[in-house]
Structure 1
Amino acid sequence: MSLAQQGAFEPSPREARPLKILIIDDDEVDYRATRRMLIEIFGADISLDWIPDWNTATRAFGQTNYDVYLIDYFLGGRTGLELIESCDPSDKPSVFIFLTGHDDRQIDVAATNAGASGYLVKSDINASTLERSIRYALYMAGKKEALQRETLAVKAAKDVVERQSKMHAKLAGDLSATQEKLRAALKSAEESEQKYRNLAQYDLLTELPNRVLFMSQLENMIEHSHRSEKSMALLLLDLDRFKSINDSLGHPIGDRLLMQVAKRLTGCIRKTDTAARLGGDEFAVIATNLQSHKDTAIVAQHIIEALAAPFEIEGHEVNTSASVGIAILNEDSDTVETLLKNADAALYKAKDAGRGVYHFFDAALNKQVRTLSLLKRELCDALLQDQFFLEYQPQIETSTGRVTGVEALVRWQHPTRGRVPPCDFIPTAESTGQIAAMSEWILREACKQSVQWAAMFGRSIPVAVNLSAIQFKRGRLVETISTILSGTGLPPASLTLEITETVMIHDVDEVEMQLRKLVTLGAKIAIDDFGTGYSSLAHVRQLPIDQIKVDRSFVTDMLVNHRDAAVVEAVIALGRNLGVTVVAEGVETREQMEYLRAMPSIDAQGYFIAKPMRPPQCQTWLSKNLRPDFTLPAPVIADPSAGGQVSSQPQQRFLAHR
């Protein structure tokens, strides 16, 4: 059921004919994904064109009128915002929505000021959110056009009245009636102008100030606070679990929840405070006339307590809570942009703390935000300037020493800071959506390398690559991998795609569907870091997996901690019963290897076998260890005189390179 059918808002008059939509995006894969969602939403009632570059887009403005323009924010070396600003005012699109891979509040603010009808992050877009944005934008545009026509009609009537007033000014009897008409026309014009202002500045669903009015209010409050020397604070809040409520109970219930949240929010703050809805489930409060941080904390606590109580909506008891991020006006937060950025950082910190809490932006968080902001910019440069490279770590069969494949691991060689650890940049890449482009590059490079080695050694060298949860959310993972396999010529059976257990907690059914499509392509699926996440045995049994990788934390201490040893043995037994391969990660000592060799059917990966290596070094390692005459030494036998401990007698080295 579409949003219009659900009663979220009336369809615009322009929707009586097929919608004309222009997509301006230099990424063909993103265009195809957007096109697919648009066809899913509107079916045959759509006329769709695509422009992939800046110059063609500038020529298109003014030549053909479209109902909706979907514009990629980054177009080569320029931006969609510059594209809008460069066009003639008479040719400027009335309804345009930016699509971007970066969740950046400053870009969001700039897009809003430019008149954008929406700002959508590509990693979060699905058919539902895209439909809501387009229909809402068309509805708003229709209302604005109607009010403009009404205003023009009133002004025309006013002109007629004025002309008649002049013509009949001498007729005293008609003068009174003319003046009355003039007063009525002026009143009607004022009412139309007020309606237009309300439409442009207030959220239609909650009747709270919208982002446009909020930004103006925040700027005014900052100036007032500076003049009065009284403190103020910005509080940003998100509803916890709102997406799951929307998905399980439907968007109409979600809309009514937002309306009740707005009512409670305005009822629990002080008269001097201002509340607004910024979009989705995100709200904001400007708190003024503060004496101390304690006053702000009281406001935040009142909000959290007010929204924690259950909501009764159409027979459903809906439970949610609010996480609140707070930025105080000071030298670190003294503009609209810095207050928003810092409050947003504090909001994320509040969510990490367990939700339903508030968090102040402080000096430590300020340093973290600055570092993160710099890292975001540097990640963009890193991919463009070839600062990333891959290392490969071999995997072997413990019982025979046979090489079973390699895992591709991304590394970053920063021009000034040297090598940056993956744990420092992978989480940032995931949070900003940059992981999608990075992962595609990793997949393509790893597949090309596997093809080269297969040709060199006359046998396949399977390669394993990690997937991010973001790639599953974008909805074009299968298409991307299929394209890369076709382009590189790698047989699908030579590619193993590793997912962590945390990928499965978001939407198991959606993940399973995409994994089954990947298996249909011929690729293999592995669960990485098994035992450290949130998966259940039901998930492991349900998903089409070929491999389980035991996390290194269990392997490291399995010889001295019986609980870790029990976990390792249990996972090996689980793999054997499910008919899947088990790989032990982090094997770093001979004793660990010998312990694993005593168990049936297990592969190993770790520094004892080989450290991650660049392609030339890995190629040398493979040439030594792919010899047909290579065999493992005999197992180490426990020495009874040593109390059952592994004998320390000299032995043949385990692998040629050790």
Structure 2
Amino acid sequence: MPERERAGVDGDYRERRLRAAEGQNRAYAYVLDLLGRALDDLGLCGDVDSLCVALSGYIEALRPHSGYGVFLLGCDARLEARFTGADRDESGFHAHQAELMASGACDRVLRFRRPRCEVCAGTEYMLLPLVAHGAVQGVLSIQSGQPPDPLMRQALDQLTRLFAIALHNLAPPQGDSPGERDAAGPAIYHSDTDFLTGLVSRAGLRRVIHAQVASRSAREREYALVLFDLDDFYQINARFGRAAGDAVLRCVGQRLYDTLYSQPVYRLLGVDETCLTLARIGVDRYALLVETPGSTEALDQVSERLRHALQEGVRVGREVLYLIVSVGISLYPGDAAEPGALTAHAEGALKEAKRHGRNRLFHYGSDDEEAVWDFAIEQALHQALREERFELLFQPQVDSAAGTVVGAEALLRLRDDTLKVPPLRFIRVAEDIGLIEAIGEWVMRRTCRLARAWHAADRIGFPLSVNLSARQLNCEGLGRLFQRILVEEMAEAAWFKLEITETAFASEVGCAIENIRDLHTMGFRISMDDFGIGYSSLGRIKHFTLDEVKIDREFIRQLPDSPVDQAIIGAILELSRQLGVGVVAEGVENAAQLRLLRGMGCHLIQGYYVARPMQWERLLDFLDDAGRIEPWRLAGAQAE
């Protein structure tokens, strides 16, 4: 092509592009102006009907002659139709909108929170979810006609979001009556939705499982339940704060959602989005229910794809965190004969993944009785916390030289008629499922009330020891929580001794040392429990003040026959003297052990030889009756 001719063609092409760009800019400016006016107008509406009227004008401006409908969630979490678009029939409902709602299409949009196109009575509709601040409020339907161009589609998405936010702002306080809520606006918060992530909640997933898996029509189908757990997530809260932790949880939910609801996953599993339910069922636990999951290999591939998606870095402030994720899978009816067992077995598989080193995927094995037992304990703990079915027993600590009580340790027990669970077992389960903080607060409040009544009666007092788990001690703001408890329960920090374990210092991420400093400054005495058997903490105890160490029963059990244990105890006693802290020997069960300990200079003891754990009333009677704790027993030990 001649150069002059080429230049003419290029110039014409550039001119056409400029004209197109100018047209696009005008359209873009028009949309921005429209959305700016919508932002002002929708925010001024005082009720749902006026909000819908205002919305009608903006939809007409974007999509002329388009009928539309608004479906809002009522207080019973069911969709209710409110229409202000064109072509209304005499009852006030668009002729096709009622059919559209009855078809279940709107329910699918609510469930998956993604726009859909549906054909109803020969008319195509765009269905857009109304979501604001993580809460689902309803569905907006618009007659499609010609498919909107990308700019118009973005404008409709933004308009829908503005409408959803305006609806959210109309929601009344939670204390309003149901009648007032119906009059003011939609019930946007309901138990089937997890507010933080916008996914299905634990209660919602339970309903889905029982509705689908337990139905007669579903008994010939197969289901898979996949659980994802963020290992050591509490350390993120401890280091960066709960706001950052919540941001990570939202990011995890979004990443799971984006990875799951995609064509590659649909092809792998041989399903569509209606066969998938994604939920957040715990603080750091997510679940996926799959209907007709296909082959086990395909399910494993999808689970690994989701796990690896979560292991990509998550930015928190200036740092990038890399999550460790454990996965447990259970199948129905292969692993479970009924819906409840499906959940229990998935929990069991998840615990096996953690027990084998975490950061891996495990399927449920039918012989995994330990995992099923842990799940039963988990359910009992939830019920015990709701119904206050925990109990505190107290074991005295005595000065063997004087034969007097110098303290008592509060020991938590679970009262359950069907389960006889050792304390160490249910404490471990409580830590795994994130209940230990709530249980720890219950223990502290209960102990405060008992101590307050004791001091109010002018009884001779001694400090009551309360155990703190490693997970509690690494929670941000523990000092503030305990200060609030003291104020609300009218108690004093000097009435208590807090027992901590060496395992609290296993991680550098947590804020255990800072919490200990805060608690000690408040007036709590600090005791190091199980000293010598956990992680080496000698390099850390110099950073805070200890009042006491407790020699673990592991070093007491084989006395007086173990020279090694005697040497270890001697070293602990000498270290304690150098540091100026007290020493208590726990697990003392016979006179020979007591005699040896006293000979080594350890006079403070706790164990069955002195007294077993007892209820609070029995402890008070014990003190009144004895005054001195069975001095014949202590004297006998000295004489032998």
Residues 1:267 and 1:356: Cα distance change in structure 2 (over 3 Å): farther
For residues 451-474 of structure 1, what are the alpha-carbon distances to aligned partners after superposition, in whole Å with 9 as ceiling and x for unaligned? 555576763222111224454466
Q: Which moved more, 1:458-467 or 1:224-233?
A: 224-233
Assess, with a 3 A threshold, how the Cα gap between structure 1 residues 539 and 348 changes in structure 2: closer, same or farther: same
Superposed displacement of residue 501, structure 1: 2.5
Of residues 353, 357, 360 in structure 2, which corresponds to 1:357? 360
Indicate the SS of the match to 1:537: coil
Tell me, yes or no, if the aligned pair for 2:452 and 2:490 is still in contact at 8 Å. yes
Q: Which residue of 1 aligns with 2:410?
A: 408
Q: Which runs of 5+ in 2 are unaligned?
A: 1-34, 52-72, 83-106, 114-129, 165-197
Partners of 2:253 and 2:628 in 1: how far apart? 66
Partner of 1:371: 376
Pick aligned residue for 2:268 from 247, 267, 272:
272
SS in 1 for 2:466: strand
User: Residue 589 of structure 1: CA displacement?
Assistant: 0.8
Assess if the C-alpha contact under 8 Å between 1:233 and 1:296 holds in 2. no
- Residue of structure 1 equivalent to 2:326: 323
Residues 495 and 222 of structure 1, relative CA distance in 2, 3 Å threshold: closer
Match of 2:447 in 1: 446
Measure, in 2, the Cα distance between the counterparts of 1:628 and 1:224.
63
* Structure 1 contact 392–618 (Cα < 8 Å) conserved: yes
Residues 399/254 of structure 1: CA separation in 2 closer, same or farther (3 Å cut): same
> Shift of the alpha carbon at 1:233?
3.5
Aligned-partner SS, 1:85: coil
| Contact residue 234 and residue 339 of structure 1 kept, 8 A | yes
After superposition, what is the alpha-carbon deviation per residue over 1:210-244, rounded to whole angstroms, capped at 9, x for unaligned? 769x9899999989998897856443344556776
Is the 1:405–1:464 contact (alpha carbons within 8 Å) kept by the matching residues of 2? yes
**CA distance in 2 between partners of 1:244 and 1:439 (Å):** 18
CA distance in 2, matches of 1:267, 1:614: 61
Q: Is the 8 A contact 1:230 1:290 kept in 2?
A: no
Contact residue 314 and residue 322 of structure 2 kept, 8 A: no
Classify 1:635/1:83 alpha carbon distance in 2 versus 1 (closer, same or farther; 3 Å): farther
Which residue does the alignment assign to 1:526?
527
Asked if the contact 1:225/1:232 (under 8 Å) is kept, the reply is no
Aligned 1:606-625 pairs, distance under 5 A: 606-623=607-624, 625=626
Deviation at residue 431 of structure 1 after TM alignment: 4.5
In the other structure, the counterpart of 1:537 is 538
591-600 vs 356-365, greater mean Cα deviation: 356-365
Q: State the alpha-carbon separation in 2 of the partners of residues 614 and 305 from structure 1.
A: 47
The 1:197–1:454 alpha-carbon spacing in structure 2 relative to 1, beyond 3 Å, is closer
Hey, what does 2:601 align to over in structure 1?
600
1:236 aligns with 2:238: no
Tell me if the contact between 2:467 and 2:500 (Cα under 8 Å) persists in the aligned partners. Answer: yes
Q: What is the DSSP-based 3-state SS (H/G/I as helix, E as strand, rest coil) of the residue aligned with 1:393?
A: strand
Q: Which amino acid aligns with 1:356?
A: N
Equivalent in the alignment of 1:346:
349
Paired residues of 1:304 and 1:323 also in contact (CA < 8 A): no
Instruction: Give me the whole-angstrom Cα distance separating, in 1, the residues matched to 2:223 and 2:616.
Output: 56
Cα RMSD (Å): 6.0
Q: Provide the rounded CA distance (Å) in 2 between the counterparts of 1:253 and 1:391.
A: 39
For residues 478 and 243 of structure 1, do their structure 2 counterparts lie closer, same or farther at Cα, with a shift above 3 Å needed?
Answer: closer
CA distance, structure 1, for counterparts of residue 551 and residue 617 of structure 2: 28
Determine if contact 2:329/2:364 at 8 Å carries over to the other structure.
yes
Shift of 1:598: 1.6
8 Å Cα contact 1:234-1:287 kept in structure 2: no
Amino acid at match of 1:372: I
Contact 1:242 1:281 (8 Å CA) reproduced: no
Structure-1 separation of matches of 2:578 and 2:548: 12
Q: How far does residue 612 in structure 1 lie from its aligned partner after superposition?
A: 1.6
Cα 1:491–1:241 shift into 2, 3 Å:
closer
1:374-393 pair list within 5 angstroms:
374-376=379-381, 378-380=383-385, 382-383=387-388, 387-393=389-395
Indicate the residue corresponding to 2:171 in structure 1.
Answer: none
Kindly state the Cα deviation for residue 380 of structure 1 after the two structures are TM-superposed.
Answer: 3.9
Contact map agreement 2:234 2:475 (CA 8 A) in 1? no
Give the structure 2 partner of residue 108 of structure 1.
Answer: none
Secondary structure (helix, strand or coil) at the match of 1:538 reads coil
CA separation of 1:615/1:508 partners in 2, compared to 1, >3 Å: closer, same or farther? same
SS in 1 for 2:359: coil
- Name the CA shift for 1:486/1:184 in 2 (closer, same or farther; >3 Å): closer
Query: Any idea what the Cα deviations from partners look like across 1:64-92, whole Å, max 9, x if unmatched?
Result: x9xxxxxxxxxxxxxxxx9953899799x
Amino acid at match of 1:350: A
User: Helix, strand or coil for the counterpart of 1:356?
Assistant: coil
Give the letter aligned to residue 393 of structure 2. E
- 1:85 pairs with 2:81: no
**Cα deviation, residue 114, structure 1:** 13
**1:548 alignment partner in structure 2:** 549
Question: Secondary structure in 2 aligned to 1:517?
Answer: helix
| 8 Å CA contact retained: 2:550, 2:586 | yes
Cα separation, 2, equivalents of 1:87 and 1:296? 35
Q: How does 1:136-151 map to 2 (within 5 A)?
A: 138=132
Contact 1:376 1:432 in 2 (8 A): no
How many angstroms apart in 2 are the aligned matches of 1:218 and 1:87? 19
- SS where residue 395 of structure 1 aligns? strand
Whole-angstrom CA distance in 1 between matches of 2:36 and 2:565: 66
Query: Is the CA contact (8 Å cut-off) linking 1:257 and 1:313 kept in structure 2?
Result: no
Amino acid at match of 2:612: K
**Alpha-carbon distance change, 596 to 263 in structure 1, aligned in 2, over 3 angstroms:** same
- Per the alignment, residue 590 of structure 1 pairs with 591
**1:167 paired residue number:** none
Q: In 2, distance between residues paired with 1:288 and 1:477?
A: 46
Give the 3 Å change call, closer, same or farther, for CA 191–435 of structure 1 in structure 2: closer
The whole-number CA distance in structure 1 between the counterparts of 2:159 and 2:213 is 26
For residue 324 of structure 1, what is the amino acid of its counterpart?
V
Equivalent residue runs for 1:201-216 within 5 Å:
none
Identity %: 25
Confirm or deny: 8 A CA contact 1:327 1:360 kept in the other structure.
Answer: yes
Go from structure 1 to structure 2 and tell me whether the alpha carbon gap of 1:346 and 1:305 turns closer, same or farther (over 3 Å shift). closer
TM-superposed deviation, 1:604? 1.0
Q: Is the 8 A contact 1:447 1:463 kept in 2?
A: no
Q: Which moved more, 1:278-287 or 1:572-581?
A: 278-287
Q: 8 Å contact 1:529–1:551 — kept in the other structure?
A: yes
Counterpart residue identity of residue 613, structure 1: M
Q: Secondary structure at the match of 2:403?
A: coil
What CA distance in whole angstroms lies between the structure 2 residues aligned with 1:579 and 1:454? Answer: 28
Matched AA of 2:76:
E
- Relative to structure 1, the CA distance from residue 210 to residue 629 in structure 2 (aligned partners, 3 Å threshold; closer, same or farther) is closer
Contact 1:450–1:461 under 8 Å retained in 2 = no
Partner Cα distance (1:308, 1:276) in 2: 18
The corresponding residue for 1:422 is 423
* Whole-angstrom CA distance in 2 between matches of 1:485 and 1:217: 43
CA spacing shift, 1:369–1:310, aligned 2, 3 Å: closer
Kept in 1: contact 2:384–2:414 (CA 8 A) = no
Instruction: Return the offset for 1:616.
Output: 3.9
Q: Check the 8 A contact 2:310/2:323 in 1, yes or no.
A: yes
Q: Is the 8 A contact 2:226 2:330 kept in 1?
A: yes
Distance 1:83 1:467, change over 3 A: farther
How many residue pairs are counted as aligned between the two chains? Answer: 484
C-alpha separation in 1, matches of 2:387 and 2:211: 39
The farther-off stretch of 334-343 and 300-309 is 300-309
1:481 counterpart letter in structure 2:
F
Between the aligned partners of 2:623 and 2:584, the Cα distance in structure 1 is: 19
**Whole-angstrom CA distance in 2 between matches of 1:225 and 1:418:** 32
Query: Which residue does the alignment assign to 1:460?
Result: 461
| 1:354 maps to amino acid | G
CA-CA distance at 1:606 after TM superposition:
0.6
**Contact 1:527–1:548 (CA<8 Å) still a contact in 2?**
yes
- How far off its partner does 1:520 sit? 2.0
Q: Who wins on radius of gyration, i.e. which is larger?
A: 2
